[in-house]
Structure 1
Amino acid sequence: MTQGWDFEPDDAFPGAPLAYDLAACLRFYSRLPVPRLPGEGDPHRLPDFRTLPRMLPVAGLILAGPGALVLLMAWALGLGPFLAATLAVATGALVTGALHEDGLADVADGFGGGATAERRIEIMRDSRIGAYGGVALVLSLALRIGALATLLDRTGALAAMALLLAASLSRSAALAPMVLLGPARPGGAGASVGTPNRRTIGIVGLLALSLIVIGGISGLPVLGMVLMPFLALAASLGLTALARAKIGGQTGDVIGACQQVAEIAGLLGVIMAIPR
């Protein structure tokens, strides 16, 4: 039996473990109705993050697909870069249930409003949003919409490819706090889902590298394909270091916030490589 999943090899189809991990990623990170796969155990069980993230780059592409499609359709209909970008970002939030945006708002409120680690974690667990969280959400939405609008203006349809890559690479970069930090709440959910192992991280890295190569082949600037993953990872590592200083570990909110800052940084990296 494969560790972390309840299926028997004789009942599984070829490539089943990877398919199960992909399905689990889509369920965990989105509101998409993913059916139970043949031979799969309980699809609603707590995911096993020792192996699950190995399909996260692929899941990121799928989750960004509807937003990229809306971006292209709105652009083709002549709605202009700003409206097209806004509709694309709104579509992405609907697909994920604003999961990462919620994490960003909680982290901003907790890190900005708490005087101690315990108080910061308490604020992060509060469902109400404060001034810091509200400002963080507005800035995140504005930066992503502005970045996509700029990409549409400079590259046209290639902006959709940049959106797909940024969504995928940012979710991969957001694994940094899980790998580098222990759970801030030993009894919380983060302590029971496990930590990505070396093999999983290696697979994530290879898939991310493949996507970067595809982005370069598609027509995006090579320098942009270098800056996007570099800046995305740097942003995630920076927030990871801040989480270590502020709460002594990571939570689901920290991971969601890392995705947001990594996506913004990645999009800005591509823009910097495109002549005005």
Structure 2
Amino acid sequence: MSTESKPISNEWQAFWLAVGFLTRIPMLVRIDYSQKLMNQCSVYFPLVGLLLGALYAGLFTLLSLAWSPLVCVLLVLCFHLFITGAFHEDGLADSVDALGGGYTVEKRLEIMKDSRIGTYGTVALVMALGLKAALLVNAQSIWLTLLVAPAISRLTPLLLMAYLPYVTDPDKSKSKPVAEGFSRKRLLISCLFTALIALMFSLWLPVLWLAAVTAIITVAMVWGWYLKQQLGGYTGDTLGASVVFCELVLLLGL
């Protein structure tokens, strides 16, 4: 393989690795897996979010031919939970259980690794999904909100990875390869891509740009500060929770 085509091949594999990491969508290319490639794939998280958003918006448009907006939104949320394996929602539940039930850093990390869900996590999931459905139904443009929200919200965990230390047991965490060696140069690329999405779709939804910037910065700063105080850094679960929080703040702004 030529030196020119190899970087292109690596980026193509990194994109599909990001798809496989964040969703249940089958990877359609052969992946030469390495920790370096896993580090590189994080730049594509917002792009994977846009891919998911396109699926959600398309499904909503199709379903709206037969059912009310509320029914369509709930069905889209069911599809979202299936196609992502409730990846971020699982992180939200584990994070809230740990931060609500642990009194030391060690105990919080122990609770976070427990596969069982507690009262705090259950309440957080119910409220987050219910609020998300209500906000989507009341959005100015439901299909457009479904399209852009997943992309914008997936920039937040990249900011946390760039500016906070990784604190959980690296040998037992799925996010270890992403966390190690995170490139801020690639973070800049993700920021520019997300900004382009917000600017482009602000032509149809003028408040989008302001809502996007507010959601990303607010969640990154507030959630990041809280994690620094409670854990000393971030874990894979708290990154998932940041996506859910950013989506909710974005939807509130819209």
TM-score (norm 2): 0.91
Pairs aligned (count): 251
Counterpart code for 2:16: A
Q: Give 1:102 deviation, angstroms.
A: 0.3
Relative to structure 1, the CA distance from residue 240 to residue 14 in structure 2 (aligned partners, 3 Å threshold; closer, same or farther) is closer
Counterpart Cα distance in 1 of 2:145 and 2:232:
34
Counterpart selection for 1:84 from 50, 72, 75: 72
Counterpart Cα distance in 1 of 2:69 and 2:217:
27
Matching residue of 1:51: 40
Q: Give 1:195 deviation, angstroms.
A: 4.0
* Aligned: 1:129 with 2:117: yes
* Unaligned runs of at least 5 residues, structure 2: none
Counterpart Cα distance in 2 of 1:41 and 1:242:
37
Q: Is 2:53–2:146's contact at 8 Å kept on the other side of the alignment?
A: yes
Residues 62-83 of structure 1: CA deviation (Å, up to 9, x unaligned): 1233222221122222x21211
Matching residue of 1:253: 237
Relative to structure 1, the CA distance from residue 234 to residue 195 in structure 2 (aligned partners, 3 Å threshold; closer, same or farther) is farther
Counterpart Cα distance in 2 of 1:14 and 1:118:
41
Q: Give 1:122 deviation, angstroms.
A: 0.3
Q: Is 1:26–1:63's contact at 8 Å kept on the other side of the alignment?
A: no
Matching residue of 1:200: 186
Aligned partner of residue 120 in structure 1, secondary structure: helix
Matching residue of 2:126: 138
Q: How does 1:227-246 map to 2 (within 5 A)?
A: 227-246=211-230
Matching residue of 1:99: 87
* Unaligned runs of at least 5 residues, structure 1: 1-7, 271-276
Q: Is 2:153–2:246's contact at 8 Å kept on the other side of the alignment?
A: yes
Q: Is 2:95–2:237's contact at 8 Å kept on the other side of the alignment?
A: yes
Counterpart code for 1:262: C
Q: Give 1:142 deviation, angstroms.
A: 0.7
Counterpart Cα distance in 2 of 1:192 and 1:18:
16
Aligned partner of residue 101 in structure 1, secondary structure: helix
Relative to structure 1, the CA distance from residue 72 to residue 113 in structure 2 (aligned partners, 3 Å threshold; closer, same or farther) is same
Identity of counterpart residues, as a percentage? Answer: 27
Q: Is 1:54–1:203's contact at 8 Å kept on the other side of the alignment?
A: yes
- Alpha carbon RMSD of aligned pairs, Å? 2.0
Q: Is 1:24–1:47's contact at 8 Å kept on the other side of the alignment?
A: no
Deviates more, 1:206-215 or 1:178-187: 178-187
Counterpart code for 1:17: N
Counterpart Cα distance in 2 of 1:35 and 1:11:
22
Residues 134-178 of structure 1: CA deviation (Å, up to 9, x unaligned): 001001101111111111xxx3xx322212211001011122221
Counterpart Cα distance in 1 of 2:248 and 2:154:
12
Counterpart selection for 1:19 from 3, 12, 35: 12
Q: Is 1:50–1:196's contact at 8 Å kept on the other side of the alignment?
A: yes
Q: Is 1:85–1:148's contact at 8 Å kept on the other side of the alignment?
A: yes
Counterpart code for 2:40: T
Counterpart code for 2:14: D
Q: Is 2:38–2:177's contact at 8 Å kept on the other side of the alignment?
A: no
Counterpart Cα distance in 2 of 1:102 and 1:47:
26
Counterpart code for 2:32: G
Counterpart Cα distance in 2 of 1:11 and 1:91:
39
Q: Is 1:236–1:261's contact at 8 Å kept on the other side of the alignment?
A: no
Aligned partner of residue 21 in structure 2, secondary structure: helix
Counterpart Cα distance in 1 of 2:96 and 2:6:
44
TM-score (norm 1): 0.84
Deviates more, 1:125-134 or 1:58-67: 58-67
